[in-house]
Structure 1
Amino acid sequence: MTAGSRPARVAVDIGGTFTDVAVEHGADLHTVKVLTTPRAPEEGVMNGIAAAMEAAGLSPADVGIIIHGTTLATNALIERKGAVTALVVTEGFRDSVEMAYENRFEQYDIYMERPAPLVPRHLRLPVRERLNNRGETLIELDEDSVRALVPTLQKYGVQALAIGLLHAYANPAHEIRVEQILKEALPDLWITRASEVCPEIREYERQSTACANAYVQPVMARYLTNLDKALRTTGYDCPLFLMMSGGGITTLETAIANPIRLVESGPAGGAILASHIAAECGLDEVVSFDMGGTTAKICLIDQGKPQSSRTFEVARVYRFMKGSGLPLRIPVIEMVEIGAGGGSIAAVDSLKRITVGPKSAGSEPGPACYDLGGTEPTVTDADVALGRIDPAGFAGGRVKMDPRKAETALARAVGAPLDLTPTLAAFGVSEIVDENMANAARVHAVERGKSLDSRAMVAFGGAAPLHAARLAEKVGVRRVVVPTGAGVGSAIGFLRAPIAYEVVRSRYMKLSAFDADEANTILAEMHDEAEAVVRRGAGDQPTAEVRTAFMRYVGQGHEITVDLPLRLLKAGDADEIRHAFDAAYTALYGRTIPNMDVEILSWTLTLGTAVDAPALATDTPPLPAPEPSGRRRLFDAATSDFVDVPVYRREALRPGAVIAGPAIVAEEQTTTVVTAAFDAHVNALGYLVLDRRPN
């Protein structure tokens, strides 16, 4: 490393098919895609880092920070491959986690199945105690009833324990004492307190979140510890940070204590990248489109900020059906995720319809064209058959493709049942996956009172630039931005994320009886907790704070998020907070309800390192495109036939270069298809911008 230069920064994102690595050193960015190694994910991470560091010409001593996002926690929940877990509950509430919401999320399916709880009934263990909703003791904790649980925990080989006592969000004393007693008897037991991981009202969600955290904690702790050890052994002495689902990064210790916050960490990095690009390009309304090997993720971004939430469902039994999964109350960037990636498997159902996903070929065996043993056709096989992918240059040449295997798989599984040629079978697969994504985007936008046709699209991920133009045609988007390094977009997004942590507290308060002193006490405690986490990684870096409250009209069942002033509150602030609530409520529902009191149920505080706003891209005079590097036969959806199109290398395109569609822009980790409906140009930042031609 040159004397006086800043240390390099490394980001790694593990996906279901590929592991993406980005190395940033000064103004230089080097990216690599390698196949994920499911049986030992750290091997794929180390392989990817080694390849990227070699490309950058750097050594481990040159690296100042490594940021990592992983799907391991999500996969453990979906595949039910976590630890043997028990749940300690208040006597009389053993079945709350199984009763759930006591509703039917699918009313017309007489065979409807609920997701099974992570903890079976024989390991849901009651203890005698009781608090009221203000945290006052009604029945003292019976410590003998806690000690009596030890033989049961030993008998069933319990590795992890969640403690979810009634109203512990208001007073965690009983949960803390249960933890102390069981830790003394079983020092190797992993213990999660619901009052720590989810100190909010609503018993079912709180217990579900605590159980999920406990369930994945031994798996995640083992993986993260092994990865940290492998990095140290290889010479990386820099800190290892983890990307969280809410869009911030945190320390290894915090990630091991709260691994449930790593769910959706990869997609969160992608949303951070899209927000950064939107600000750079002066785009106020954006839809981010992240399509990788296993899934596609769509997120709405307004004024440079992605939509966020504190509720999330994982491992849904029914595809896209709200209520059919395990609820988690964690900070999360809100997006819709569907099983539509390059590895999504295509088939023909009993009604002679082409279906795509959610099952994926993953990295083992992978799509048929990988020639690694896969025989089922995938979206990637369709893209190869349609001329969108150069088989010789896929993933920088690290994955060799056999187009004949793709055509054979498509002909057998899709073409033969529908009497279609392999080409038309591939086109059918492509159209179905694009329509699936378009429909998911439409529904996601409508549910939030948003529209898509006024937005620009930011496309990234290995497969997104292949499908972005066609998806934009379907949903009415007129501009598509494909950033530099789009194939590893989520990893690059990690490099743009702040070190941050969010704290939440449930504390009931009506605005008509607003207590500024109590509110300030709550917020001060939350600030201290968040600062203790953030300072571990941020040191003395400046921080920024965001405060919100979850509020509703008295008697309503659900809350909306309202911003709070960033200062000490005073009694007169009740009116200001009420005005903010009215504005947020009107934005969602188009009206307010007169003469109704408003109540605060929960408070949130997010503290993070300050992130400078990116500079706006300047206009660049148009330049003629360079000579194409070659030509390729590309299937054109408008004519249902192949057309001969030019192929341009992304690295050969200078800012200002203009390309008329149809065309192909190839780079090491992905390929951008410019359809006949679009023209493209390269902006001052080197981003490829596709603009819809006037009708």
Structure 2
Amino acid sequence: FRDALEIGNEGRYDMYDLALVKPIPLVERRLRFDVPERITADGRIRQKLDAAALLDLCRQLQAENIAAVAICFLHAFTNPAHEIEALEIVREMLPNTAISVSHQVAPGMREYPRTSTTVANAYVQPITEQYMARVQQGLNASGVNAPLNIMLSSGGTTTVEAASAFPIRLVESGPSGGALAGVYWGARVGQPDILAFDMGGTTAKAVLTKHGQLTITNQSEVAHVHRFKRGSGLPLMVPMIELIEIGAGGGSIARLNNLGLPAVGPESAGSTPGPAAYGRGGGQPTVTDADLLIGYLNPDYFADGTIRLDTEAARAAYEPLAASLNLSVARLAWGVHQLVNENMAAAARVHAAERGLEIRRYSMVATGGAGPVHACGVAEKLGVQQVIIPPLAGVGSAFGFMTAPISFDFTRSYVARLDSLNLAELNTILDDLEREGRAIVEAAGVPALDIAVQLSIDMRYVGQGYEVRVPFAKQTLTAAHIAQMQAAFEQEYKQFYGQLANGVPIEAVNWRVVIAGPTPDIGKLSLESEATATNTAYTARPVIFKAETEPQPTPVYRRTALSAGWQSNGPLIIEEAASTTIVLPGWSARVDDSGCLVLTQ
């Protein structure tokens, strides 16, 4: 319906905000149109598509000189016949226009998120297609003949063609690389349960893995009105690694909130102008400025020495805020560092509790330029005993890309109680999804025999409005598998909620098929430090670890000077080109055989 994007799901993300602001739809109302047609919830055609009305609409759109069209009909996920017919008409009338149709972009139940996702895909499709074409042309001009694969938000990679057709699947694909890096390095050090913590210049991301497996969700949001309030953004219904975003990065700005208390973020100085210490015109006090003022960062060795940090500019940025609080600049900077750590720890703690996970059992893998700076502090607040700083931690997401298999996900809504599944119809749907996915993965160069197929099912008790994702072996389903589905659901449900609703029928809602090639073999990484290792500190500098104590002289090492087997007790600092690792008092550090820094409390 024309106003579905404004109506949304009628939920309120803040029950007590009398001036609630909702996210603005990506397409204004004058460019949203109804077309007469109707398909029922069970896929029957009640009213045929009015092709004449659609042709008139296309002529109107021609006059608007639009770049993209989104087509989303009610219940198209059960029967896409009308969307297919509309696609053919629009493609003929608007041949140079990008077209997104909901049964391809987001073939799942729930009209509002399906429409929102399709519109978002159309919104970014033209610019994505142009960008991908320029990248490919640039590679060709440089003589690079290797295939270009694009990272997906679900943790796999795909072809340029698939990424251009479904650009909405690239949302949060960068942090997905950090999650994959966490899984990879967790496996290298023998830790299957990992908290992957990635902190950069604007935000921090946290991802929990269980038994070495990432959780995939089909529910996410973008363009939040209130950055970290669920329900305040535009919903997306695409497969994505489940992560939490915290408004805490190196560029996050310290300020006083409405109560006159110190707060950090979510506003950020970004990279331009950036923190005050960058010397690029920024004057706001940021987290990076605070880390510099307490001695955690080396002003002469930031970003491998390519950026010289201005300590006095950082101090000047903090002086007005410190004066208003009657604090010294050093004490305020220490407090900002602690506040950021607490914000990140609190978000990760809640995220784990909502999923029934005991986060203190986890090991942290810290990546990103600022991740190793804050890792020990966040871990202490969470009760996490071990932190892993992998090689190339500052570019951990890029490293994670190299471990991503070529893959593609398809989700289809097929709502039915387990005791009344039409197995013949369901097997046909799943086989069609597998066939479509295999075509995409094989087009990316994966041999048919190397392709693996995985199935998961979103299930719930009848009457519930939320589902639990249940892994299940992809096979031709028979009546014998019904009891196995029920047992698998009950196991997952009890893990989340602690008890079962015995006697209540179970229904399946969404069926997800993942078609993937093998995980790339990146070989064994060699330690850059082996040839030149001295295992000694090259200098020391004063560092503030506690507000009530004087700065403590702290040894500083270059990571390239440390070889496998080296170990020492904190406090100490380890510098490398793209990040700095802070080992707090009460922690120890060692270099393992894989080149990881393993920090233990």
TM-score (norm 1): 0.83
1:42 aligned partner? none
Unaligned regions of 5+ residues in structure 1, if any? 1-92, 618-623
Whether contact under 8 Å (1:242, 1:250) holds in the other structure is yes
Q: What CA distance in whole angstroms lies between the structure 1 residues aligned with 2:492 and 2:409?
A: 21
Whether contact under 8 Å (1:346, 1:429) holds in the other structure is yes
2:539 aligned partner? 630
Shift of 1:150: 2.4
1:677 aligned partner? 586
Q: What CA distance in whole angstroms lies between the structure 2 residues aligned with 1:208 and 1:138?
A: 25
Shift of 1:613: 9.4
* 1:290 maps to 2:198: yes
Relative distance call for 1:612 and 1:586 in structure 2 (3 A) is: farther
1:566 aligned partner? 474
Listed as ranges, the matches of 1:656-671 within 5 Å are 656-671=565-580
Match of 2:462 among 554, 557, 562: 554
Shift of 1:212: 0.5
2:386 aligned partner? 479
2:395 aligned partner? 488
Shift of 1:612: 7.5
* 1:544 maps to 2:452: yes
Q: Which amino acid aligns with 1:388?
A: Y
Q: What CA distance in whole angstroms lies between the structure 2 residues aligned with 1:192 and 1:351?
A: 46
Deviations 1:651-670 (A, max 9, x none): 11111111110000011111
Q: What CA distance in whole angstroms lies between the structure 1 residues aligned with 2:139 and 2:453?
A: 32
2:368 aligned partner? 461
Q: How many residues align?
A: 593
2:225 aligned partner? 317
Relative distance call for 1:148 and 1:438 in structure 2 (3 A) is: same
Shift of 1:416: 2.2
Listed as ranges, the matches of 1:328-367 within 5 Å are 328-367=236-275
Relative distance call for 1:614 and 1:161 in structure 2 (3 A) is: closer
Q: What CA distance in whole angstroms lies between the structure 1 residues aligned with 2:549 and 2:119?
A: 51
Quote the RMSD (CA, aligned, Å): 1.8
Q: Which amino acid aligns with 2:138?
A: A
Listed as ranges, the matches of 1:526-605 within 5 Å are 526-540=433-447, 542-605=450-513
Q: What CA distance in whole angstroms lies between the structure 1 residues aligned with 2:581 and 2:41?
A: 56
Deviations 1:191-245 (A, max 9, x none): 1000100011111110010011011111222222222222222332221111111
Whether contact under 8 Å (2:403, 2:522) holds in the other structure is no
Residue 396 of structure 1: SS of its match in structure 2?
coil
Listed as ranges, the matches of 1:64-103 within 5 Å are 93-103=1-11
Residue 127 of structure 1: SS of its match in structure 2?
coil
1:36 aligned partner? none
Q: What CA distance in whole angstroms lies between the structure 1 residues aligned with 2:262 and 2:534?
A: 39
Residue 201 of structure 1: SS of its match in structure 2?
coil
Q: Which amino acid aligns with 2:144?
A: Y
Whether contact under 8 Å (1:313, 1:327) holds in the other structure is yes
Q: What CA distance in whole angstroms lies between the structure 2 residues aligned with 1:507 and 1:453?
A: 38
Q: What CA distance in whole angstroms lies between the structure 2 residues aligned with 1:554 and 1:679?
A: 51
Q: Which amino acid aligns with 1:504?
A: T
1:44 aligned partner? none
Shift of 1:371: 0.8
Q: What CA distance in whole angstroms lies between the structure 2 residues aligned with 1:166 and 1:398?
A: 55
Shift of 1:515: 2.9
Q: What CA distance in whole angstroms lies between the structure 2 residues aligned with 1:206 and 1:348?
A: 39
2:177 aligned partner? 269
* 1:404 maps to 2:308: no
Shift of 1:543: 1.8
Q: Which amino acid aligns with 2:571?
A: P
* 1:442 maps to 2:349: yes
Relative distance call for 1:279 and 1:362 in structure 2 (3 A) is: same
Residue 112 of structure 1: SS of its match in structure 2?
coil
Q: Which amino acid aligns with 2:416?
A: M
Whether contact under 8 Å (1:352, 1:417) holds in the other structure is no
Match of 1:500 among 407, 410, 428: 407
* 1:200 maps to 2:108: yes
Relative distance call for 1:384 and 1:131 in structure 2 (3 A) is: same
* 1:376 maps to 2:281: no
Q: Which amino acid aligns with 2:308?
A: K
1:509 aligned partner? 416
Shift of 1:166: 0.7
Whether contact under 8 Å (2:534, 2:561) holds in the other structure is no
Q: What CA distance in whole angstroms lies between the structure 1 residues aligned with 2:585 and 2:473?
A: 50
Whether contact under 8 Å (1:347, 1:356) holds in the other structure is yes
Whether contact under 8 Å (2:405, 2:520) holds in the other structure is no
Shift of 1:615: 11
Q: What CA distance in whole angstroms lies between the structure 1 residues aligned with 2:64 and 2:281?
A: 39
Listed as ranges, the matches of 1:193-272 within 5 Å are 193-272=101-180
Unaligned regions of 5+ residues in structure 2, if any? 526-532
Q: What CA distance in whole angstroms lies between the structure 1 residues aligned with 2:440 and 2:103?
A: 17
Relative distance call for 1:640 and 1:176 in structure 2 (3 A) is: farther
Structure 1 stretch displaced more, 477-486 or 273-282? 273-282
Whether contact under 8 Å (1:348, 1:417) holds in the other structure is no
Residue 198 of structure 2: SS of its match in structure 1?
strand
Whether contact under 8 Å (2:402, 2:520) holds in the other structure is no
Q: What CA distance in whole angstroms lies between the structure 1 residues aligned with 2:421 and 2:258?
A: 61
Residue 74 of structure 2: SS of its match in structure 1?
coil
Structure 1 stretch displaced more, 592-601 or 142-151? 592-601
Q: Which amino acid aligns with 1:324?
A: S
* 1:415 maps to 2:301: no
Listed as ranges, the matches of 1:72-151 within 5 Å are 93-151=1-59
Q: Which amino acid aligns with 2:513?
A: L
Identity of aligned residues (%): 42
Whether contact under 8 Å (1:280, 1:615) holds in the other structure is no
Q: What CA distance in whole angstroms lies between the structure 1 residues aligned with 2:202 and 2:9?
A: 31
Residue 324 of structure 2: SS of its match in structure 1?
helix
1:641 aligned partner? 550
Whether contact under 8 Å (1:625, 1:658) holds in the other structure is no
Q: What CA distance in whole angstroms lies between the structure 1 residues aligned with 2:101 and 2:560?
A: 51
Residue 457 of structure 1: SS of its match in structure 2?
strand
2:530 aligned partner? none
TM-score (norm 2): 0.96
1:24 aligned partner? none
Q: What CA distance in whole angstroms lies between the structure 2 residues aligned with 1:162 and 1:616?
A: 46
Whether contact under 8 Å (1:459, 1:483) holds in the other structure is yes
Shift of 1:155: 4.0
Whether contact under 8 Å (1:279, 1:613) holds in the other structure is no
1:690 aligned partner? 599
Q: Which amino acid aligns with 1:282?
A: G
Shift of 1:350: 4.2
Shift of 1:341: 0.7
1:652 aligned partner? 561
Structure 1 stretch displaced more, 598-607 or 144-153? 144-153
Residue 536 of structure 2: SS of its match in structure 1?
coil
Q: What CA distance in whole angstroms lies between the structure 1 residues aligned with 2:194 and 2:549?
A: 30
Q: Which amino acid aligns with 2:551?
A: F
